[in-house]
């Protein structure tokens, strides 16, 4: 179905941070399958794990214990603030699981008959009905009403709005049961959370019993230079979700929680494919490679290099570029509102010049290369971007 407005490009092969189209043309890949291919393309550790799992055992269902699933859960618990993991197949599904867990917790522990989940404006949490309702952006919700009840929106990085909402909603059978929020908003324009805002959120949640849920689907699994986005904010969530980078590009999602909010009983939530030997065996190889090859150090160094280069470029085109921001290897270049040039214009021109980029909204160009990107590849991407901007800005407000 025509669910995507696609670029005129068909890709058939990849190696590291490079991909080739069906005509044999090479591209530097700064999209990485939308922040998923953390180890790039055809990484030997992934080739080995995929081959091993398909030869050994790939799927049996969750009627039985799955050793790879246990090992991956153990790795995630050891490397995060969580004690429990539920596996599924995508980010939206992980958030659905978190929403269900939070609702059950609100009903059974907080004794709220009509629990409300607060989410932030310009957020992105997925495309299923509940997660698109949680996604507080009208452009994703148009035509899909009636939406799922039980959500209310607050501006991002604005603590007084959260305090007001909790105060207002705490009436009769209604009450705020959870806050679902991204530590850094990805699709909404690469907007990092404020440390002071998130500290206050944590404090409010701890005082009121409201669950604090972080959507780490895009920013997590090392993309920010730390394993989890919440490590940048100095606070721990009660529940968080992971997906995109978790399997290095094979489909897997996870909902992780502290022990105290693990209120699910057998039969209350499930997934046929979730956590199968194939997906968890490969994801475990990705996790172990991130650790063994010290990839977080590369993310931090290459991220600083990229932001420094982008800031130099921004200084050359101050009438076009408004801001450079991000953490590690999730970065955004924001264009001014009052000019015609859009992120799409830059992405289209960059593709022609051999660099894959993706917008995050109308005015932000997003840079999410594989986490193994090299110093030379960052320099090459900056060179291509600079030449693309030189051409696009020759005619003022070009289109």
Active site residues: 124, 215, 244
How many CB atoms within 10 Å of residue 399? 8
Considering only residues 200 through 219, tell me which ones interact with ligand PLP, judged by CB under 6 A: 215, 217-218
| Shortest distance, position 363 Cβ to ligand PLP, whole Å | 18
Residue 172 gets the label, from left (phi > 0), alpha (psi -120 to 50) or beta, of left
Q: Dihedrals φ, ψ of 213, to 5°?
A: -115, 125
| Shortest distance, position 196 Cβ to ligand PLP, whole Å | 22
Q: How many residues bind ligand PLP (CB under 6 A)?
A: 15
Q: Establish whether 18 is an annotated binding residue.
A: no
Candidates 10-18, 180-188, 336-344, 380-388 — which segment interacts with ligand PLP by CB under 6 A?
A: 180-188
Which one, 299 or 313, has the nearer CB to ligand PLP?
Answer: 299
Query: Token digits for 47?
Result: 């080739």
β-strands 114-120, 174-181 pairing: parallel
Q: For residues 1 and 170, give the distance between their C-alpha atoms in angstroms, rounded to a whole number.
A: 43
Q: Establish whether 93 is an annotated binding residue.
A: no
Q: Establish whether 215 is an annotated binding residue.
A: yes
| Shortest distance, position 343 Cβ to ligand PLP, whole Å | 16
Long-range contacts of 19-27 (CB under 8 A, 24+ apart): 19/356, 25/354, 26/354, 27/351, 27/354, 27/355, 27/356
Considering only residues 220 through 249, tell me which ones interact with ligand PLP, judged by CB under 6 A: 243-244
**From residue 21 to residue 60, what is the string marking binding to ligand PLP with x (rule CB under 6 A)?**
----------------------------------------
Which one, 182 or 377, has the nearer CB to ligand PLP?
Answer: 182
Position closest to ligand PLP via CB: 91
Among 182, 238, 334, 377, binds ligand PLP (CB under 6 A): 182
Burial of 317 (0-12, 13-18, 19+ CB in 10 A): middle
Candidates 53-61, 89-97, 256-264, 265-273 — which segment interacts with ligand PLP by CB under 6 A?
A: 89-97
* Interaction between residue 96 and ligand PLP (CB under 6 A): no
- Please report the sign of the dihedral spanned by the C-alpha atoms of residue 172, residue 260, residue 291, residue 91: negative
Candidates 85-93, 313-321, 366-374, 385-393 — which segment interacts with ligand PLP by CB under 6 A?
A: 85-93
Q: For residues 301 and 111, give the distance between their C-alpha atoms in angstroms, rounded to a whole number.
A: 47
| Shortest distance, position 118 Cβ to ligand PLP, whole Å | 16
Q: Establish whether 124 is an annotated binding residue.
A: yes
* Interaction between residue 91 and ligand PLP (CB under 6 A): yes
Q: Establish whether 80 is an annotated binding residue.
A: no
* Interaction between residue 184 and ligand PLP (CB under 6 A): no
Please give the torsion angle defined by the CA atoms of residues 188, 295, 89 and 270, in that order, rounded to the nearest 10 degrees.
Answer: -110
Task: Report the alpha-carbon angle 276-179-102, nearest 5.
Answer: 50
Among 53, 69, 80, 90, binds ligand PLP (CB under 6 A): 90
Among 177, 186, 192, 249, binds ligand PLP (CB under 6 A): 186
**From residue 103 to residue 132, what is the string marking binding to ligand PLP with x (rule CB under 6 A)?**
---------------------xxx------
Considering only residues 296 through 325, tell me which ones interact with ligand PLP, judged by CB under 6 A: none
Q: For residues 214 and 34, give the distance between their C-alpha atoms in angstroms, rounded to a whole number.
A: 19
Q: Establish whether 271 is an annotated binding residue.
A: yes
Classify residue 380 by its DSSP letter.
Answer: H
Run of H or E residues at 164 = helix 159-169
DSSP string computed for 323-347: EEEEETTEEEEEEPTTSS--HHHHH
Q: For residues 155 and 132, give the distance between their C-alpha atoms in angstroms, rounded to a whole number.
A: 17
With tokens 């958030």, the residue in question is: 95
Q: Establish whether 383 is an annotated binding residue.
A: no
Q: Which residues are annotated as a binding site for N(2)-acetyl-L-ornithine?
A: 127, 271
The residue ranges that bind ligand PLP (CB under 6 A) are: 90-92, 95, 124-126, 182, 186-187, 215, 217-218, 243-244
Q: Which residues are annotated as a binding site?
A: 91-92, 124, 127, 215-218, 271-272
């Amino acid at each position: 179905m025509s669910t995507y407005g696609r670029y005129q490009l068909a890709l058939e092969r990849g190696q590291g941070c490079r991909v080739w189209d069906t005509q044999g043309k090479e591209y530097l890949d700064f999209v990485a399958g939308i922040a998923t291919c953390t180890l790039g393309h055809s990484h030997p550790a992934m080739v080995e794990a995929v081959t091993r799992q398909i030869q050994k055992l790939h799927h049996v269902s969750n009627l039985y214990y799955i050793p790879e699933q246990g090992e991956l859960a153990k790795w995630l618990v050891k490397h995060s603030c969580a004690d429990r993991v539920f596996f599924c197949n995508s980010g939206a599904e992980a958030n659905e699981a978190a929403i269900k867990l939070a609702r059950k917790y609100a009903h059974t522990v907080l004794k709220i008959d009509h629990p409300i989940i607060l989410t932030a404006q310009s957020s992105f949490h997925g495309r299923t009905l509940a997660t698109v309702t949680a996604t507080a952006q009208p452009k994703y919700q148009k035509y899909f009403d009636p939406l799922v009840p039980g959500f209310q929106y607050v501006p991002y990085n604005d603590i007084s709005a959260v305090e007001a909402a909790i105060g207002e909603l705490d009436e009769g059978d209604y009450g705020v049961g959870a806050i679902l929020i991204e530590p850094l908003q990805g699709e909404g324009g690469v907007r990092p959370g404020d440390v002071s805002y998130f500290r206050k959120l944590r404090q409010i949640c701890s005082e009121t019993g409201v669950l604090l849920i972080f959507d780490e689907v895009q920013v997590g699994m090392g993309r920010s230079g730390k394993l989890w986005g919440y490590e940048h904010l100095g606070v721990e969530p009660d529940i968080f979700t992971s997906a995109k980078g978790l399997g290095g590009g094979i489909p897997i999602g996870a909902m992780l929680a502290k022990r105290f909010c693990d209120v699910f009983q057998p039969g209350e939530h499930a997934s046929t494919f979730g956590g199968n030997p194939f997906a968890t065996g490969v994801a475990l190889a990705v996790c172990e490679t991130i650790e063994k090859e010290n990839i977080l150090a590369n993310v931090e160094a290459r991220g600083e290099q990229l932001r420094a280069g982008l800031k130099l470029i921004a200084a050359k085109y101050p009438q076009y570029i408004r801001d450079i921001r991000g953490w590690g290897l999730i970065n955004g270049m924001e264009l001014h509102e009052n000019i015609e040039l859009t992120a799409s214009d830059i992405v289209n021109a960059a593709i022609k010049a051999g660099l894959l980029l993706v917008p995050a909204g109308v005015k932000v160009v997003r840079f999410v290369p594989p986490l193994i990107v090299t110093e030379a590849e960052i320099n090459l991407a900056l060179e291509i971007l600079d030449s693309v901007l030189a051409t696009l800005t020759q005619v003022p407000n070009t289109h």
